[in-house]
Amino acid sequence: MSEKINALKAEISAATAKTQEELEGYRLKFISRKSVLGELFADMKNVAPEDRKAYGQAVNEVKQQAEEKFKELIAGLESSDAGSKSSAPIDLTLPPNVNLGTVHPLTYIHNRIVEIFQKIGFNVADGPEIEDDFHNFTALNFPENHPAREMQDTFFIESNPDIALRTHTSSVQIRVMENQKPPFRTLAPGRVFRNEAISARAHCFFHQVEGFFVDKNVGLVDLKQTLYYFAKELFGQDTKVRFRPSYFPFTEPSAEMDISCNICKGKGCNICKYSGWVEILGSGMIDPNVLENCGIDSEEYTGFAFGMGIERIAMLKFQVNDLRLYSENDVRFLNQFKHLS
Q: State the sign of the Cα–Cα–Cα–Cα dihedral 222, 226, 231, 233.
A: positive
Task: Tell me the pTM.
Answer: 0.68
pLDDT of res. 123:
95
Q: Is the pLDDT of residue 191 over 70?
A: yes
Query: Binding residue per annotation — 252?
Result: yes
Q: Which residue has the higher pLDDT, 89 or 112?
A: 112
Residue 87 binned pLDDT confidence (cut-offs 50, 70, 90): low
Residue 84 binned pLDDT confidence (cut-offs 50, 70, 90): low
Residue 116 binned pLDDT confidence (cut-offs 50, 70, 90): very high
Arithmetic mean of pLDDT, 107-134: 95
> Mean of the per-residue pLDDT values for the chain?
86
Q: With beta carbons less than 8 A apart as the criterion, state whether 255 and 246 touch.
A: yes
- Give the rounded percent of residues in the chain with a pLDDT score beyond 70: 93
Q: With beta carbons less than 8 A apart as the criterion, state whether 303 and 275 touch.
A: no
Q: State the sign of the Cα–Cα–Cα–Cα dihedral 257, 262, 263, 266.
A: positive
- Predicted confidence (pLDDT) per residue in 243-272, tens digit: 999 999 999 999 999 998 877 777 777 777
Nearest alpha-carbon partner for 205 in 195, 193, 214, 196: 193
pLDDT of res. 208:
95
pLDDT of res. 316:
85
Q: Which residue has the higher pLDDT, 337 or 51?
A: 337
Residue 298 binned pLDDT confidence (cut-offs 50, 70, 90): very high
Could you state, in order of their start, the residue ranges of all structural domains in the chain? 2-87, 106-340
Q: Is the pLDDT of residue 85 over 60?
A: no
Write the CATH number of the domain with boundaries 106-340: 3.30.930.10
Cα–Cα distance for residue pair 137/154, rounded to 1 Å: 11
Residue 29 binned pLDDT confidence (cut-offs 50, 70, 90): confident
pLDDT of res. 82:
55
